[in-house]
């Protein structure tokens, strides 16, 4: 199976993005890498990853991580659940972007099976003014549930996601002993 076929096989295409990306993003955590649906543990992905893609140094990019399976793949009534958003990334310099939603790792509830965690890289039409955008703290769940990526892209950039989608990758995870620690960090609704 080709790499890009994995996006369809795992339902990422149609559930999160309308088409497969042009490139596969490299998404590396401290002790693991996202590999097109490979299962990782919440313990392995508790800290924000590095993300690499084919970037133009004259462009700005956005990186988003989302879970379409909240609270479960069978009952995704809170999906997509936003895990991370960084905008205005100059070229491939992720650390120089503006964090709009602080990273929170995978947190599947117990007995909900595998969740898909999709990391998407978008090429922005231009740098965006974030002064009026809401920022989401890693301590808050507000603004995370029911955040459909395709709708957010259209409202933020005024263009459909398929025009901006550059790269993506995804992994799957299910509940482990780290998840209660992740939930304990949420002090704001």
CB 177 within 8 A of CB 107: no
The DSSP element (H or E) to which 166 belongs, if any, is: strand 165-173
- Among the residue ranges 55-59, 129-133, 152-156, the one predicted with the least confidence is 129-133
Cα–Cα distance measured from residue 137 to residue 146, given in angstroms and rounded to the nearest whole number = 17
Domains of the chain are 5-176 (3.90.280.10)
Peptide bond before 71: cis, by omega within 30 degrees of 0? yes
DSSP 50-113: EEE----TTSEEEEEEEETTSS-SS--TT-SEEEEEEEEEETT-GGGSEEEE------PPTT--
pTM for this predicted structure: 0.95
Q: Say which DSSP state 188 is in.
A: B
Q: How far is CA 76 from CA 64, 146, 147, in A?
A: 19, 9, 12
Percent of the chain with pLDDT over 70: 98
Q: Say which DSSP state 131 is in.
A: T
- Among the residue ranges 1-15, 126-140, 147-161, the one predicted with the least confidence is 1-15
- In sequence order, the β-bridge partners of residue 60 are 90
pLDDT in tens, 17-33: 999 999 999 999 999 99
User: What do you get for the CA distance between the two ends of the chain, in Å?
Assistant: 42
């Amino acid at each position: 199976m080709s790499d890009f076929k994995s996006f369809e096989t795992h339902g990422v295409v149609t559930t999160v993005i309308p088409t497969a990306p042009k490139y596969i993003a490299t998404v590396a955590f401290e002790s693991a890498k996202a590999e097109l649906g490979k299962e990782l543990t919440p313990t392995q992905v508790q800290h924000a990853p590095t993300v690499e893609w084919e970037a133009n140094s004259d462009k700005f990019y956005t990186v988003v991580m989302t879970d379409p399976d909240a609270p479960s793949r069978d009952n995704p009534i809170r999906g997509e659940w936003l895990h991370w958003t960084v905008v205005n990334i100059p070229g491939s310099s992720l650390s120089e972007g503006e964090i709009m939603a602080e990273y929170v790792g995978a947190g599947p509830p117990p007995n909900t099976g595998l969740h898909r965690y999709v990391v998407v890289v978008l090429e922005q039409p231009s740098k965006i003014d974030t002064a009026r955008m809401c920022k989401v703290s890693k301590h808050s769940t507000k603004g995370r549930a029911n955040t459909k990526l395709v709708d957010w892209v259209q409202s933020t950039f005024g263009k459909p996601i398929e025009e901006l989608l550059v790269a993506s990758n995804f992994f799957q995870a299910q509940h482990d002993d780290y998840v209660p620690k992740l939930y304990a960090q949420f002090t704001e609704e």
